[in-house]
Structure 1
Amino acid sequence: MHEVFAALARNAAQRPTAPAFRDEAQALDWRALAARVASLSAALADAPPVIGLAVPGGVDFVVADLAVTLSGRRFVPVPFFFSPEQQAHVLADAEVGAIIGAPRAAAFGLPVIAPNAPDRGADLPRYGGGATRVIYTSGSSGRPKGVVLGDRQLSGSVMALADVVGATAGDKHLSVLPLAQLLEQSCGVFLPILAGAETVFSAGATFALLGGPVAPFLAAMVRENPTTSLVAPTLLARWLDAIEAGGAPAPASLRFVAVGGALTPPSVLARAELHAIPVCEGYGLSECCAVVAMNPPNDAMAGTVGRVLDPLDVKIIDGEITVAGPTVMQGYLNGAAAPERWHTGDNGHFHEGRLVVEGRRDALIVTGAGRNISPEWVESRVTADPRIKGAALCHGADDSLVLVVALSTPIAPTDIAALLTDLPAYARPAAVIFAEPKHPGLLFPAGTPNRAVAADVARSGARFPLFENSEACLT
């Protein structure tokens, strides 16, 4: 993080009135940002060693993130999209001593620090190093696990991303992903600071990502004319649907739209190319500081997640993606230190020097006929449809494949079948079960399924036939 704070000081000195960060309520230039970070960092002099952040996003999140880090304390974002039980677990597990946020943060039962400290007129101090942050990932069980990251991991990742993205002071980043997610912290906060670029936050666009109305996202794209942004495959599909329904085309200003978090359907990538949206797939996980591989602008290869970031060593061991290098986490909070080579749990291979991700190893379905099926391969076909918020392929006790689908709007089983006709017989589900998107625990915030919950739904839900001659039904 030394590079980030050095860039912040440089921007404040050389481009003091240039725009830095803006949301619906406030805007900061580089001089004002540096002043607010310095003031809040100084106000934390007597604060506990672990500080939580209960600000959903925007400018206040950026100031708090930088100030807590500058003060050398441990920074723990509390994701607003976590359940109250998950949030309580985060605070207890990380031993958070105080929390930055609005007055309602007092509900957590901890001392509350306002994100706006009185301006003391002090210059931005030099970063002394040693700060850590804990990023909580809900994981497959829904119980959050804390990933501990320090200067080594963050600096290695951010500097490698800077080379791939090629950010400049002329960029404008539209921030859509929640800032509690490390990828948006890196690409929406740290990279713009390094480049001296502007970041614009849109709460409406973020809620569109989480299943809310898509109109605020579309309006933000038209209004801001950004050059970069990060989206999830489901939001990309909804964006394309709006364009094809007669909406505004993608801004010509865009040069880099990263997409990740789940497998992007090939049909969605093809449509994005048709509509001149410069989509670049990437791959990563919090345990490796969010990004392991990324397609660069103007050199993206569809079907791959790009080349491995320069400081990392990725090897495929028994079909599994493994990662070594400076971005591998320190370890899980309250757990053992991470090994030198991290086994990601994802299957993959290389194609022409680029990484291809095949799906989670623990989700792999092996049928009675000996077929290996990655659920993501099947699920991505249906989640390309905007009426479908999420899907999970399940393996029944009778060796049949059942697709659990969470609907945004009604859809007929025949329409589901039409989305799957390009699959080989052995991968076609025999039936579909429709579920509500709000079914407790069925979908994680990014739209990916909780497979344990989906399996329960598959055992009890009403089945509608899809492919009666599915090979997976044969024994």
Structure 2
Amino acid sequence: MALTGGVDYVVADLATTLCGKRQVPLPFFFSHTQNAHILMDAGVGAVVTSTPELFTALPKLQIIDPVDIPDGPLSFPDYLGGADRVIYTSGSSGRPKGVIIGDPQLSASLTALALVINAGPQDRHLSILPLAQLLEQICGIFLPILAGAETVMRFEATKALFGAPIAALTDAFEEVQPSTSLLAPGLLGRWVQDLKAASRHAPASLRFVAVGGASSSPALIYKAASVRIPVHEGYGLSECCAVVAMNRPGQNRAGSVGQVLDGLEVEIINNEITVTGPTIMAGYLNGTPAPERWYTGDLGHFDGDRLVIDGRKYALLVTPAGRNISPEWIESRVNADPRIVSSALALRQDGTLILIVVAVAPITGPEIVACLSDVPAYTQPDGLILTDPSHPDLVFAAGTPNRAVAHQLVNTADALPLAPFQTKESLAS
């Protein structure tokens, strides 16, 4: 499916699912090269799209107009069907990998999440994140349908995820008065700032706002609470059907991603988060079936029964002095500033630590350094590269940085020097 979102997307998704057809969403935020790779890798024979001109170079591909929407309410059976969907992850190499998610994985995930969110017919979900993402498909399509709830979509608000003004998102929450929603940390930070600037609070109708896709600093969670956003951080990945752990209402703790979902088992092996349970994918398309225990590539630990994420295993930076730095540790603090959409900490080939900041409003080096006042001196960047959301392929839709692009950028672009926050006197004390 090559649809940006809206009701057309939902009907096409449900029609494909209930007919037992394999579904392959084509994210509108992927490049043409990435989507061309998906079409070939998945062997797609037909595409549902409102922009057929984008596919004229592929004559063997059947083009289907979006499904006509009937008047009146739509009703669907409880059973989601037996088809699977192939969710292509962005991939650090730029070549997306197809994650096969079937009815068993979806059913297990929906059952567990329904208990966490306590979804019911009284709910109204405001769908902001792109529907091509598995997590929004679960939270914005299937959970509301199974709970008898309503979903409202506002694509103008979705555009804020890619650097458009945040006012459309703020207005959407005020107009729709939803009870639930799902946001990326960058969007959450900008919404918090917009509310603070206007001395306003989030709508009183909200009872559960999930945030995920990238790490959120405790400072951002506290700021959200100060404007009455009931935000709950979670953790997951497409290979485990989007969600592994989530903070529960009444048990929210900033700095953790909450308790593991019912039915899943998480074990930390050599500091890496591993998962077993019914939500693990069937496998990668054109690859071998998934093993019983999935090694996530994420580092973490438990604080009691709550999971804490320490960063990506393969993103770990090792300085010339032999110090290990999880870049997410620094990035989450910087990203708490609402002017910043995303950031990436990287090492130049000469061992210099450089911070890339993707901003939607002016911000200075001293302001960025001030965000890092509580981290050790060895983790603080020596240089700064400022850019904006239009930089090609630097930021994935979830707000996480493309580290391959970031590595190339820090080794080719000039960086502004950053004065360290700590003085020699304070370091010596």
Normalised by the length of structure 1, the TM-score is 0.84
Consecutive unaligned residues in structure 1, runs of 5 or more = 1-52
Report Cα offsets for 1:8-50 as digits up to 9, x if no partner.
xxxxxxxxxxxxxxxxxxxxxxxxxxxxxxxxxxxxxxxxxxx
Assess, with a 3 A threshold, how the Cα gap between structure 1 residues 435 and 211 changes in structure 2: closer, same or farther.
Answer: closer
3-state SS of 1:77 partner = coil
Find 2:26's aligned residue among 55, 67, 78: 78
Q: CA deviation at 1:388?
A: 2.2
1:316-354 superposed Cα distances (whole Å, 9 cap, x missing partner):
000000011110001010111111100000000011201
Aligned amino acid, residue 134 of structure 2? L
Match of 1:99 among 47, 58, 62: 47
Cα distance in 2 for residues equivalent to 1:389 and 1:314: 30
Give the letter for the 1:274 counterpart. Answer: S
- 8 Å contact kept, 2:377–2:420: no
CA–CA separation in structure 2 for the residues paired with 1:190 and 1:221: 21
What letter corresponds to residue 368 of structure 1 in structure 2? P
Q: What SS is found at the alignment partner of 2:198? A: coil
Distance 2:141 2:80 in 1: 20
1:26 aligns with none
Letter in 2 for 1:97: G
| CA displacement 1:102-123 (0-9 Å, x = unmatched) | 253662532222333597xxx9
Q: What is the rounded CA distance, in whole Å, between the counterparts of 2:121 and 2:80 in structure 1? A: 26
Following superposition, the deviation at residue 408 of structure 1 comes to: 2.1
Q: 8 Å contact 1:426–1:470 — kept in the other structure?
A: no
Q: Which amino acid aligns with 1:78?
A: L
| Structure 1 counterpart of 2:305, one-letter code | G
1:268 corresponding residue in structure 2: 220
Indicate if the aligned counterparts of 2:124 and 2:149 stay in contact, CA closer than 8 A. yes
Match of 1:239 in 2: 191
CA deviation map 1:198-243 (0-9, x unaligned): 0000011111122211111111101111000000111111111111
Do 1:105 and 1:112's aligned partners in 2 also have CA atoms closer than 8 Å?
no
CA distance in structure 2 between the partners assigned to 1:404 and 1:157 by the alignment: 35
| Alignment correspondent of 1:371 | 323
Does 2:64 align with 1:116? no
Highest Rg: 1 or 2?
A: 1
User: Which residue in 2 is equivalent to 1:435?
Assistant: 387
Distance 2:205 2:69 in 1: 38
**RMSD of aligned C-alpha atoms?**
2.1
C-alpha distance after superposition, 1:407-466 (max 9, x if no partner): 323322222211212211111111212234322222222222111211222122222222
Contact 1:263 1:376 in 2 (8 A): yes
Q: Partner residue of 2:169?
A: 217
Query: Which amino acid is 1:87 matched to?
Result: N
Aligned length: 417
Aligned to 2:143: 191
Per-residue CA deviation, residues 255-300 of structure 1 (Å, 9 max, x unaligned), is 0000011111221111111111111000000000000001112221
| Cα distance in structure 1, aligned partners of 2:12 and 2:126 | 20
5+ long unaligned stretches in structure 2:
424-429
Task: Note if contact 2:80-2:103 (Cα within 8 Å) is conserved in structure 1.
Answer: no
Q: Which moved more, 1:309-318 or 1:100-109?
A: 100-109
> Contact between 1:430 and 1:465, CA under 8 Å: does it hold in 2?
yes
Question: Does the 8 Å CA contact 1:106/1:112 hold for their aligned counterparts?
Answer: no
Change (3 A) 1:245 1:175: same
Whether the 8 Å CA contact 1:209–1:231 is kept in 2: the answer is: no
Structure-2 change in CA distance of 1:271 and 1:332 (3 Å): same
The percent of aligned pairs where both chains have the same amino acid is 57
Q: Which moved more, 1:454-463 or 1:299-308?
A: 454-463
What is residue 246 of structure 2 aligned with on the other side?
294
- CA–CA distance in structure 1, aligned partners of residues 246 and 213 of structure 2: 12
Displacement, 1:126? Answer: 8.7
Q: CA deviation at 1:400?
A: 2.7
Q: How does 1:156-167 map to 2 (within 5 A)?
A: 156-167=108-119
Given that residues 282 and 294 in structure 1 are in contact (C-alpha distance below 8 angstroms), is that contact kept between their aligned partners in structure 2?
yes
| Cα distance in 2, alignment partners of residues 149 and 254 from structure 1 | 30
Q: 1:144 aligns with which of 75, 80, 96?
A: 96
Aligned residue number for residue 90 of structure 1: 38
Give the residue type in structure 1 aligned to 2:31.
S
3-state DSSP of counterpart to 1:75: coil
